[in-house]
Amino acid sequence: MTIAITGATGALGQLALTALKARAPQADVVALVRDPAKITGTPARAFDYTKAETLAPALKGIDTLVLISSNDFNDRAGQHRAVITAAKTAGVKRIIYTSILKGDASPMILAQDHIATEAALKASGIPATILRNGWYTENYTGSLKASVEHGALIGSSADGRIASAARADYAEAIAVTALDDSHTGKTYELAGDTPHTMADFAAEVSKQTGKTIPFNTLPKDTYAGILQSFGLPEGFANILADSDDTAARGSLLDESHTLSKLIGRPTTPIATTIKAAL
């Protein structure tokens, strides 16, 4: 069985590639990337979501395709549909797709592309495994240095509980499902074992830095404006602020422990990810 991973030089793709090799060193794995020269130690093929005509040839001989969602928000659903169409043409036997927690029940703007992609997968007839990923803890630790320097964390999630997990935990789920066909046809809601509020997160940052770092919750529009002042494009800033705002009402909460059951270990505590970031 040949397994291919899209976006294999991205943050999640690299970890998924590592997890696959750790679990099955002899597995036949192909990295699908824009620039194959950036991959060492793994066969690589050129693969660009925006170049639809090149996708089917790149998928020749692939049995299981791990479709990691694009981080290009310019017609992301259209890019995914192009990959799915190419996979059908190339005879791919199964697709594993990294979707979003709660899927079509999610109120997030961010969910719309994932909902459309899940629908395209169903319409294609290709057997699929849907990994509905919750929030990565790294979504918060990525800006931690600046937050500590400015003495506060900000957002719009109020006291909403968020079941985040480390990106490596979700990568492990990709490896588990890619290596076992029994996960075909399954949809998994994946999240961290221990939900936290952003006040809890800020308290852990305070503990580890020895500084008082509060969490200041802001109206969604105010937060979006601040994100734009940091240099984020308006559309992306609005998406992030909307995601935070819906988290206040439970969009990022899941207590099924499906992720830890799937990977066979507890998910990574936020304290561990915070420590690594600091």
pTM of full prediction above 0.75 = yes
| Residue-level pLDDT at 30 | 98
Architecture of the domain whose range is 2-136+166-190+255-267: 3-Layer(aba) Sandwich (3.40)
The pLDDT tens digits of the residues spanning 235-266 come to: 999 999 999 999 999 999 999 999 999 999 99
Low-confidence ranges of the chain (pLDDT < 70): none
| CB contact set of 198 (below 8 Å; sequence gap of 6+) | 140, 153, 155, 157, 160, 162, 215, 217
Paired with 223 in beta bridges are none
**Domain residues of the chain, as ranges?**
2-136+166-190+255-267
- Determine which helix (DSSP H) or strand (DSSP E) holds 67, and give its type and residue range: strand 64-67
Phi and psi at residue 192, to the nearest 5°: -75, 160
The pLDDT tens digits of the residues spanning 123-151 come to: 999 999 999 999 999 999 999 999 999 99
Phi and psi at residue 133, to the nearest 5°: -75, 135
| Residue-level pLDDT at 133 | 98
3-state secondary structure of 238: helix
